[in-house]
């Protein structure tokens, strides 16, 4: 059973040490969480970054980070298929990935709208519970503009989409702890509404406006 008390003391794995992964590794420890940070090059390649981030962050292998209570997958979409699904079995996976054809190559099923990027992630990590979040916000805002001291209606919004209500609640709780306002992005099938090119993407608005935009997209 997921409770606010459990969420307050989580070990969170982060796969990917780029902009969003680095921003979350920098901010989650301040909310009381232990972070295991991993990338495809191995723990040694993260030594300098982890030293800068402080004692709340440790370098890990992908398998080690994936053993955490929740796992953020924040890699180029093309790299998701390199992850070993069994390592993520039974885990809540927070998918921050965005599809950029110029970087990832062309995925026909994404181009024709057969599925969206998070459904692609969920199909590969089929033994996991995938929640889409943190993909709409510019990484510098994630680092600098969280305001836990403000009421929800005065914070920047971050949409959360997924099919498991308990997992969505846990991710929403993490977003709240970081000083942002979670808003309901609907089901995983609905998560296309927060993808690049849609009105809420990289749009620094509060929760009421973000919810209005999402509800009126499509």
The per-residue pLDDT string of the chain (218 residues; one tens digit each, 9 = 90 and over) reads 344 454 568 999 999 999 999 999 999 999 999 999 999 999 999 999 999 999 999 999 999 999 999 999 999 999 999 999 999 999 999 999 999 999 999 999 999 999 999 999 999 999 999 999 999 999 999 999 999 999 999 999 999 999 999 999 999 999 999 999 999 999 999 999 999 999 999 999 999 999 999 999 98
Distances (CA, A) of 40 to 13, 43, 86, 134, 145: 14, 9, 17, 21, 29
What letter would DSSP give residue 156? P
Distances (CA, A) of 108 to 66, 117, 143, 198: 29, 11, 34, 19
| Of residues 53, 19, 27, the one with CA closest to residue 176 | 27
Return the pLDDT at 3.
45
* Interatomic CA distance for residues 2 and 166, integer angstroms: 7
- CATH number for region 4-215: 3.40.50.720
| Of residues 70, 73, 74, 119, the one with CA closest to residue 90 | 70
* Interatomic CA distance for residues 100 and 118, integer angstroms: 13
Indicate the pTM of the whole model. Answer: 0.94
* Interatomic CA distance for residues 210 and 159, integer angstroms: 8
């Amino acid at each position: 059973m997921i409770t606010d008390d459990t969420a307050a003391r989580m070990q969170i794995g982060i796969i990917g040490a780029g902009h969003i992964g680095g921003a979350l590794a920098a901010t989650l420890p301040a909310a009381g969480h232990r972070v295991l940070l991993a990338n495809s090059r191995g723990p040694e390649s993260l030594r300098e970054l982890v030293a800068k981030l402080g004692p709340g962050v440790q370098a890990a292998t992908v398998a080690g980070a994936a053993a955490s209570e929740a796992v953020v997958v924040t890699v180029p979409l093309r790299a998701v298929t390199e992850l070993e699904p069994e390592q993520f079995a039974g885990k809540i996976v927070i998918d921050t990935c965005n599809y950029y054809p110029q970087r990832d190559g062309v995925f026909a099923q994404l181009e024709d709208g057969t599925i969206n990027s998070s459904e692609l992630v969920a199909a590969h990590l089929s033994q996991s519970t995938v929640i889409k979040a943190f993909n709409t916000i510019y990484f510098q805002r994630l680092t600098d503009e969280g305001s836990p001291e403000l009421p929800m209606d005065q914070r920047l919004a971050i949409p959360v989409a997924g099919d498991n209500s308990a997992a969505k609640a846990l991710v929403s709780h993490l977003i709240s702890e970081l000083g942002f306002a979670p808003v309901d992005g609907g089901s995983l099938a609905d998560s296309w509404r927060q993808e690049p090119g849609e009105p809420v993407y990289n749009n620094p608005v509060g929760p009421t406006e973000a919810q209005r935009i999402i509800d009126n997209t499509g």
